[in-house]
Amino acid sequence: MSSWFDYTINGLVVGNIYALLAVGLALIFGVSHLINFAQGSVYSVGAYVGLVCITYLNTPLPLTIAIVLASCGLLGILIERIGLRPLQGRTRIAPLLATIGISLVLDQIVQLVFSAQPRALPSQVPDWRFVIGGGSIGALDLLIAAIGLASAAVLFAFLRFTKLGWAVRATAQDREAAQQMGVDVDRVDSAVFAIASALGGLSGLLVGMYYNNISPAMSFQATLKGIVAQVIGGVGNVPGAIFGSLFLGLTESYGIALFGTSYRNLFAFVILILVLISWPNGLFGGRRSLPPEPLTGTFIAPSRPVLLPFWLVVALVATGLLLPVVVTSPYVIQTLSNAWLYGMLALSLTLVAGTAGQISLGHAALLAIGGYASALLALDLGLSVLVAIPLAGLITGLIGTLLVYPAFGLRGHYVAIATLGIGEIVSLVILNWESLTRGPIGITGIPPLAIGKHDFYSAPAVYWLTFAVLVGLALLQRRLLRSPLGRTLRAIRDDDVAARTYGINPNRYKGLAFAFSGFVAGVSGAITAHLYSYINFETFTSQISVLALTMAILGGLGNVFGAIAAAIALVGLPEIFRVASDYRMLIYGLALLLLIRFRPQGLFGTV
């Protein structure tokens, strides 16, 4: 049994590591109003640069640290050049999406170079331990604490006493006025990304040494923890980020002591949602409401959507129906069935993110809810699959809406963060609610798709079923978009204050959008569950959420036909051409980056 002292030390050490991540995020948000989703990728790059230094170059610790700081600092400058600078003057969500694209690319490059396998990162600190009272403290603990304090002191001195530091603060407060004083704000952006990334890389190095274990998968969680810490302290608030990080580290550590390791992240995300909803300026900022930022949540580039003539729709549907007759390869047919399932997810997201303007980064959670609901209805209640699937869709619509409901008051970035957090919470609840979900083991033996006594084992049968459901849902959604309801949703998206003055209650309509969206995604998840016959809490990962968003943007946000075409392009084509999965994520990341930069209206135009 470890003592409370040990848990406190552990909490502070982890808090220090979070602080190095979160301070950078806060600086970047302060200056550019951007939540940098690539921060975790830089952190993992820092860990791997450290690995190369320590195991191949045998550098001493101070040199290792210097190399990590320098290389990650340069990487930060590069990220700013690619992800932020070309997007100036665009909606604020655009650079955020660009950093998601950059993080996919960086993570995949790390994985291609070093493989996905975890690696040991030997600590270069002697293994001394000092026994104090009932616990002990190690040399590495002290080093991490010292680096945390030193970084904070250097950062403080930089902001307070250097000219560039003054420029950073001035730019954060009023970008235009700073320019009018002669500040080159592009240089400020660059400097801030360099600092943030250097600290983030250092954080990765330290965490690798602390756990003696690094893997490319550490990136995403790091981004999330940095964001949570920052939200706790108040977005963009540098001292707040340090406070939030220590608070988060301690909460997690005590949480593990009380409930066990699998609850650790649940605490982080529950705190995130609570703080976002109740203290949107952070625990430091008082209870003021957020400044209104109409339009910042949407990523709707003005465009004229491509309208398909009726005969073409009929021709496409007919082609889709006849395809299994012509194409005999079961592999191609299976791949396309998979694309239809993703198409449903893209439909679902394009409604919420496009038509209703709420960028959701947690959409995979809806698949998970639908999949679990249908599997459990069929297994535990013995419902027939044909009944379980639509019922699971309804349940997903209901639960999804209820989960997001508290976040309806949020806008822009905050919607993205909240949905991300809610998505993580769903998967952690699935992991921990063993009596219902079978916990980490997952659900096995899910009955296959069947109508009456006819099982759908053949590839064409699955194909026709998924295609029929997709076409049905797409027609329904198209109908909905053309109804007054669709118009109202777009009105709320474009200006919810103006919509309110016409007596519209935005929350009610956002609720309807999420409910329909949840139904569609839930059906997709349910069919997937019966198709796979096995699912667990990791079947529907956050990577799928990002992929869904890429599809929705590729097709043109809000565009029903575009969503389906994008699903074929991003899921079907790489599979048919047998692109290795590592490269596939790379393609998704690049696609997202290029789209945001050069064709924000997507292939078929926003609606």
Partner 1 sequence: MHSPTNTALPEPLLALDHIDTFYGAIQVHFDLSLEVGRGEIVCLLGGNASGKSTTMKIILGQVQPKGGTVTFAGEAITGLATPKIIRRGVGSVPEARRLFGAMTVRENLLMGAYLRSDRATVAEDLERTLDLFPRVKQRLDQRAGTLSGGEQQMVAMARALMGRPKLICMDEPTMGLSPLYVERVLELVRDINRAGTTIFMVEQNASLALQIAHRGYVLQTGRVVLTGSAQELLMDPGIRDAYLGGEQAA
Under the rule (CB under 8 A), what is the footprint of partner 1? 163, 166-167, 169-170, 173-174, 176-184
Q: Residue 160 or 479: which CB sits closer to partner 1? A: 160
The distance of closest approach from Cβ of residue 150 to partner 1 in the complex, given in angstroms and rounded to an integer, is 25
Between 155 and 361, CB nearer to partner 1: 155
Nearer to partner 1 among residue 165 and residue 602 (C-beta): 165
How far apart CA 179 and CA 175 sit, in angstroms, is 6
CA distance 213 to 195: 25
Residue (58 or 173) nearer to partner 1, CB: 173
SS3 label, residue 293: coil
Complex with partner 1: residue 184 or 455, whichever CB lies closer: 184
Q: Which is nearer to partner 1, 184 or 380 (CB)?
A: 184
Instruction: Kindly state the smallest distance separating residue 180's Cβ from partner 1, in Å.
Output: 4
Q: Judged by CB, which is closer to partner 1: 42, or 300?
A: 300
Our CB check for partner 1 shows the closer of 68 and 238 to be 238
Contacts 24+ apart (CB under 8 A), 486-494: 486/355, 489/355, 489/356, 489/513, 490/355, 490/558, 490/607, 492/356, 492/357, 493/297, 493/298, 493/300, 493/355, 493/356, 493/357, 494/295, 494/298, 494/300, 494/357
DSSP 538: T
Length of the chain: 607
- State the residue for tokens 């496009």: 354
Query: What is the nearest approach in angstroms of partner 1 to the Cβ of residue 30?
Result: 10
| Smallest distance from partner 1 to CB 163, Å | 7
Contact in structure between 309 and 439 (CB atoms under 8 Å): no
Q: Token pair 């295609």 is at which residue?
A: 467
Q: Which is nearer to partner 1, 178 or 369 (CB)?
A: 178
Q: Which residues of 518-540 are buried (b: 16+ CB within 10 A; e: fewer)?
A: bbbbbbbbbbbbbbeeebbbebb
Structural tokens at position 546: 């990002």
Cβ proximity to partner 1, 174 vs 293, nearer residue: 174
Handedness of CA 484, 487, 492, 495 (dihedral sign): negative
Quote the least distance from Cβ 187 to partner 1, whole Å.
9
Instruction: Compute the chain's Rg from CA coordinates.
Output: 25
The three-state secondary structure class of 438 is coil
Instruction: Work out the angle between the directed axes of helices 185-211 and 61-79 (0-180°, nearest 10).
Output: 140
Joined together, the tokens standing for residue 592 give 């997202």
**Nearest distance from C-beta of residue 87 to partner 1, angstroms:** 18
* Shortest Cβ 290–partner 1 spacing (Å): 18
Per the CB < 8 A criterion, the answer to whether 410 and 358 are in contact is: no
Report in angstroms how near the CB of residue 303 gets to partner 1 at its nearest: 15
Give the nearest distance from C-beta 90 to partner 1 in angstroms. Answer: 14
Q: Which residues pair with 135 in a beta bridge?
A: 132
Q: Shortest distance, CB of residue 78 to partner 1, whole angstroms?
A: 22
Instruction: Tell me the residue type at 156.
Output: F
- With H, G, I as helix, E, B as strand and everything else as coil, classify residue 121: coil
